[in-house]
Chain A
């Protein structure tokens, strides 16, 4: 091991009230540390009720100054909570903050073990491990890198738009990338929004226009992010701007091309498959930007080489069949992912008959029916396009709260189901049944909305629908859709015949969320939503510095929450931009060029491409700016030529010895 070091170590054992002291004999641990680890360098060992409090921290600061302490061990809660606190305390007293180690005796001892004697002995071993380790710590300096003030926002839904506007209004530039031809996201498809029943388009479009015309926002629609390299403050992003086959500089948005195009295509995206669009189209009237897009797969010219009606009629000559995809490279300092959600595919719940029984509709399909700008002009009609339903069943929790599909609650479906009830009632006067398990109407105005719907005379059945069928039993059910459900409040099975069934389908992560996450270097939870840094205290940050998440990409939520998260993410980004430089943890790997043999075994191990081979010198080299400090190359080098700060071999070996009580004064068996 390394040569004898003469460090002066202070050990501080926290009671944490009774959280630790209730199980671990903290006085015993402190005394033990002073006695048994004295020969290693422990000069003082104290115990105190709340080490993280001001007096607690002052204890440390005082001891550093008066006792000349060179290393600190705080045996308390998880380092994820207070490592920074104690590092700052050390810094204030003039000690390098990286010479502090936290030993977790709460989350990993007092909270998880019941036998007090055993827990105390384990706490001692944990402290011994930390003392041995901290002696091997080296003083480190934080690394500062400048921040590029530009920001990339991926996803032009309500969360992305909010984030982009906040940053742009603060005076910084934003690249807003959206994969569809227009920004607006799912919200642009909705009719009315709960609980206020505002028209979605009315409240959304002003924002869309603002984003589309803002001098600080570069809108890149019909575009995808292809590659991301770099690190916080210095990302380089490659964006593929797909060919619209329209010259944006010449297009006035007059719409003649769409009008004249003879090719009709079913609109699977915006109209949820209920309506048509043309081969050259803008997705909806208020699209931002208002340039159409040509659907290459369905355009007669691209298929057969004929037609070109759009080109003939375009008054400004803006059609360009030869247009190519453009690859755009941008440098940004921070990235916000607001990529939204996919709707749960209701065909998977085969007993509800969606896709098989014509008059079973999904929530998005219903939004399009109800929307006055939709394919039926706002008339709620059956699949035949004509018949108004006299009775409608709305089923909640489709694909959600279901171990067979998605275990989680999709948050918005109850409110959505109630909204549908109201709209159906309002448009058609039909009898409406809502089939629910629980009514989740938690936020501002939500429960009041529920009460209103109750008072409107809609009918509620508490029970998970077993089946939607057209197999009629008797005259009453002929030609209807029959909902088979256990009415748990009435305590009996019911068969309820309706004309139309609306499935309040759940939300799920985008089908490519994992790939997108990988591209940006963030991970997804087991359900597939992007993982936030901390579920309560840091919902918009991720484990990767500089990458933020907002909106449904982080998990199902309603519009106010999406907006709030978009704003929160932008605040985090602005905070970084205004600091001008970002501070990186000095956990990096370095190659000792004298020891390196140029075997190149490390070269293939770095996902950040931080390791380069210098052929002239026959050695490998690590770029500290790209190195993320994972330590894989440190562990892999066969010559032991790569060392890592923060989690060095010496530190870990020492901790192993300490945890196994190898260096205790008294003889260990």
Chain B
């Protein structure tokens, strides 16, 4: 690329909340660097471009695409494949794209239940029980809306991904650092990390950045944070009996939540090389339980009322099992 032609940049949101887009904007002045160094060709939240514009681009012509959100519908899948085709570097941006995140919790229910619930909430007025149809004939032709896929998937289960940037959302200072890196790479001042690297993160887990004091852990009871308030600000939160996901969660956020007095809920995903995030938490919590008799252990475990949610809040689609049995096992 010459000095006059700026490299192309795209950002897309699939099944997500929009927080990652906000996080990018939250880099404040850094966004001007994006504008200065890139030509933004496709970014639904920020500009008006159509799918056909993307389809018309040459393959590999977009230098950097930040793909945010999980793959929930066939539209998400189509655009993921399209952007992969048109992009040189595709980054799974944010926890939704990396491992499914909150929308991924829908994988605990079969689609029928999800749709039924959505159209029958206490505040929904749907007396005739009307549900959406994916295709509908009108005089002008056939109308289509995207089809729901049976379960939500992180993007790397659909296309090849170059880099991962976890977080819900990724911390703005990390986004800024990545933008800086890419700009340096464009100017030939730095090398891209190996394909598949998780970027915008630290080398270890949250405890590495957490300032609290840690001792050998022996937990006799798990509690909710409101049960022991006020939380001791100097002592490890897990040691106080609150299930903190910090030990299994990738570092990079500066232990934001524990610094603020709350337990880590694990939005940065697993540590390097870990295949199943939830498994690491299962083993971590089990290891600190101070009991030997099954009855006593079960009693202590009762202090974590939703263990599946506790360990897979952000990572269910990216886990080994990916979803609950009812969501996708068909007899």
Give me the interface of A with B, judged by CB distance under 8 Å.
Answer: 594-605, 618, 635-641, 653
Determine the distance from Cα of A594 to Cα of B272 in the docked complex, in whole angstroms: 11
Residues in A whose Cβ lies below 8 Å from that of B288: 601, 604
Once A604-B288, A640-B274 are accepted as A-B contacts, the answer to whether A594 and B281 lie under 8 Å apart by CB is no
Residues in A whose Cβ lies below 8 Å from that of B205: 597, 599, 638-639
B41: min CB distance to chain A, Å: 34
Residues in B whose Cβ lies below 8 Å from that of A599: 205, 207, 214, 246-247, 284
Determine the distance from Cα of A22 to Cα of B208 in the docked complex, in whole angstroms: 58
Q: Which of A600, A604, A637, A639 has the most CB of B within 10 A?
A: A639
Question: Cβ of B284 and Cβ of A601 under 8 Å apart?
Answer: yes
Closest 4 CB pairs of A and B: A638-B248, A597-B207, A638-B284, A597-B208
B280 at the interface (CB under 8 A from A): yes
Give me the interface of B with A, judged by CB distance under 8 Å.
Answer: 203-208, 214-218, 246-248, 251, 270-275, 280-281, 283-284, 286-288
B39: min CB distance to chain A, Å: 36
Determine the distance from Cα of A639 to Cα of B274 in the docked complex, in whole angstroms: 8
Question: Cβ of B272 and Cβ of A640 under 8 Å apart?
Answer: yes
Determine the distance from Cα of A596 to Cα of B214 in the docked complex, in whole angstroms: 14
B264: min CB distance to chain A, Å: 11
Question: Cβ of B214 and Cβ of A598 under 8 Å apart?
Answer: yes
Determine the distance from Cα of A638 to Cα of B283 in the docked complex, in whole angstroms: 7
Q: CB < 8 Å: which of B216, B218, B247, B287 contacts A639?
A: B247
Determine the distance from Cα of A618 to Cα of B271 in the docked complex, in whole angstroms: 17
Q: A604-B218, A638-B283 are in contact. List 5 more A-B contacts (CB 8 A).
A: A594-B203, A596-B204, A597-B247, A600-B217, A603-B217
Residues in B whose Cβ lies below 8 Å from that of A600: 214-217
Determine the distance from Cα of A97 to Cα of B288 in the docked complex, in whole angstroms: 37
Question: Cβ of B204 and Cβ of A604 under 8 Å apart?
Answer: no
B204: min CB distance to chain A, Å: 4
Determine the distance from Cα of A95 to Cα of B216 in the docked complex, in whole angstroms: 42
Once A597-B207, A601-B288 are accepted as A-B contacts, the answer to whether A639 and B248 lie under 8 Å apart by CB is yes
Determine the distance from Cα of A454 to Cα of B62 in the docked complex, in whole angstroms: 104
Residues in A whose Cβ lies below 8 Å from that of B206: 597
Determine the distance from Cα of A598 to Cα of B216 in the docked complex, in whole angstroms: 11
Question: Cβ of B271 and Cβ of A603 under 8 Å apart?
Answer: no
Question: Cβ of A601 and Cβ of B203 under 8 Å apart?
Answer: no
Determine the distance from Cα of A637 to Cα of B270 in the docked complex, in whole angstroms: 12
A to B CB contacts below 8 Å, 17 in the list: A594-B203, A596-B204, A597-B208, A599-B214, A599-B247, A600-B214, A600-B217, A601-B247, A602-B287, A636-B284, A636-B286, A637-B280, A638-B284, A639-B247, A639-B274, A641-B204, A653-B275
Determine the distance from Cα of A638 to Cα of B277 in the docked complex, in whole angstroms: 9
Question: Cβ of B251 and Cβ of A597 under 8 Å apart?
Answer: yes
Determine the distance from Cα of A221 to Cα of B129 in the docked complex, in whole angstroms: 89
Residues in A whose Cβ lies below 8 Å from that of B283: 635-638
B252: min CB distance to chain A, Å: 12
For A611, the closest partner residue in chain B by CB is B216
Residues in A whose Cβ lies below 8 Å from that of B274: 639-640
Question: Cβ of B271 and Cβ of A598 under 8 Å apart?
Answer: no
Once A599-B247, A601-B288 are accepted as A-B contacts, the answer to whether A638 and B281 lie under 8 Å apart by CB is yes
For B281, the closest partner residue in chain A by CB is A638
Determine the distance from Cα of A638 to Cα of B215 in the docked complex, in whole angstroms: 16
Question: Cβ of B272 and Cβ of A595 under 8 Å apart?
Answer: yes
A514: min CB distance to chain B, Å: 15
Residues in A whose Cβ lies below 8 Å from that of B281: 638
Residues in A whose Cβ lies below 8 Å from that of B207: 597-599
Residues in B whose Cβ lies below 8 Å from that of A638: 205, 247-248, 271, 280-281, 283-284
Question: Cβ of A639 and Cβ of B217 under 8 Å apart?
Answer: no
For A603, the closest partner residue in chain B by CB is B216
A257: min CB distance to chain B, Å: 49
Question: Cβ of A641 and Cβ of B216 under 8 Å apart?
Answer: no
Question: Cβ of A595 and Cβ of B203 under 8 Å apart?
Answer: yes
Determine the distance from Cα of A471 to Cα of B203 in the docked complex, in whole angstroms: 84
Q: Which of A600, A604, A635, A641 has the most CB of B within 10 A?
A: A600
Determine the distance from Cα of A635 to Cα of B251 in the docked complex, in whole angstroms: 20
For A633, the closest partner residue in chain B by CB is B287
A640: min CB distance to chain B, Å: 5
Determine the distance from Cα of A596 to Cα of B280 in the docked complex, in whole angstroms: 14
Residues in A whose Cβ lies below 8 Å from that of B214: 598-600
Determine the distance from Cα of A601 to Cα of B208 in the docked complex, in whole angstroms: 13
Question: Cβ of B287 and Cβ of A604 under 8 Å apart?
Answer: yes
Determine the distance from Cα of A494 to Cα of B176 in the docked complex, in whole angstroms: 99
B310: min CB distance to chain A, Å: 13
Determine the distance from Cα of A594 to Cα of B208 in the docked complex, in whole angstroms: 10
Residues in A whose Cβ lies below 8 Å from that of B203: 594-595
Determine the distance from Cα of A117 to Cα of B167 in the docked complex, in whole angstroms: 52
B309: min CB distance to chain A, Å: 18
B194: min CB distance to chain A, Å: 11
B314: min CB distance to chain A, Å: 15
B50: min CB distance to chain A, Å: 40
For B277, the closest partner residue in chain A by CB is A638
Once A594-B204, A597-B207 are accepted as A-B contacts, the answer to whether A639 and B271 lie under 8 Å apart by CB is yes
Determine the distance from Cα of A600 to Cα of B283 in the docked complex, in whole angstroms: 13
Determine the distance from Cα of A595 to Cα of B203 in the docked complex, in whole angstroms: 6
Determine the distance from Cα of A603 to Cα of B287 in the docked complex, in whole angstroms: 10
Question: Cβ of B287 and Cβ of A595 under 8 Å apart?
Answer: no
Question: Cβ of B217 and Cβ of A640 under 8 Å apart?
Answer: no
Q: CB < 8 Å: which of A605, A618, A637 contacts B208?
A: A618
Residues in B whose Cβ lies below 8 Å from that of A603: 216-217
Determine the distance from Cα of A595 to Cα of B214 in the docked complex, in whole angstroms: 17
Question: Cβ of B215 and Cβ of A639 under 8 Å apart?
Answer: no
Residues in B whose Cβ lies below 8 Å from that of A635: 283
Q: Which of B215, B247, B288 has the most CB of A within 10 A?
A: B247
For A595, the closest partner residue in chain B by CB is B204
A518: min CB distance to chain B, Å: 14
Question: Cβ of A604 and Cβ of B271 under 8 Å apart?
Answer: no
For A605, the closest partner residue in chain B by CB is B287
Question: Cβ of B287 and Cβ of A641 under 8 Å apart?
Answer: no
B282: min CB distance to chain A, Å: 9
For A636, the closest partner residue in chain B by CB is B287
Q: Which of A594, A605, A618, A638 has the most CB of B within 10 A?
A: A638
Determine the distance from Cα of A636 to Cα of B204 in the docked complex, in whole angstroms: 16
For B282, the closest partner residue in chain A by CB is A638
A2: min CB distance to chain B, Å: 10
Determine the distance from Cα of A636 to Cα of B217 in the docked complex, in whole angstroms: 13
Question: Cβ of A601 and Cβ of B287 under 8 Å apart?
Answer: yes
Once A635-B283, A636-B283, A640-B280 are accepted as A-B contacts, the answer to whether A601 and B217 lie under 8 Å apart by CB is yes
Question: Cβ of A604 and Cβ of B217 under 8 Å apart?
Answer: yes
Once A636-B287, A641-B271 are accepted as A-B contacts, the answer to whether A598 and B217 lie under 8 Å apart by CB is no
Determine the distance from Cα of A593 to Cα of B206 in the docked complex, in whole angstroms: 15
Question: Cβ of B247 and Cβ of A640 under 8 Å apart?
Answer: no
Residues in A whose Cβ lies below 8 Å from that of B275: 653
Residues in A whose Cβ lies below 8 Å from that of B248: 638-639
Residues in B whose Cβ lies below 8 Å from that of A641: 204, 271
Residues in A whose Cβ lies below 8 Å from that of B271: 595, 638-641
A593: min CB distance to chain B, Å: 9
Q: Which of A594, A598, A618, A640 has the most CB of B within 10 A?
A: A640
B238: min CB distance to chain A, Å: 8
A596: min CB distance to chain B, Å: 7
Residues in B whose Cβ lies below 8 Å from that of A637: 280, 283
Residues in B whose Cβ lies below 8 Å from that of A595: 203-204, 271-272
A161: min CB distance to chain B, Å: 39
A11: min CB distance to chain B, Å: 28
Residues in B whose Cβ lies below 8 Å from that of A594: 203-204
A400: min CB distance to chain B, Å: 33
Q: Which of B207, B218, B272 has the most CB of A within 10 A?
A: B207
A122: min CB distance to chain B, Å: 24
Determine the distance from Cα of A598 to Cα of B215 in the docked complex, in whole angstroms: 10
Determine the distance from Cα of A636 to Cα of B208 in the docked complex, in whole angstroms: 17
For B288, the closest partner residue in chain A by CB is A601
Residues in B whose Cβ lies below 8 Å from that of A636: 283-284, 286-287
B270: min CB distance to chain A, Å: 8
A643: min CB distance to chain B, Å: 9
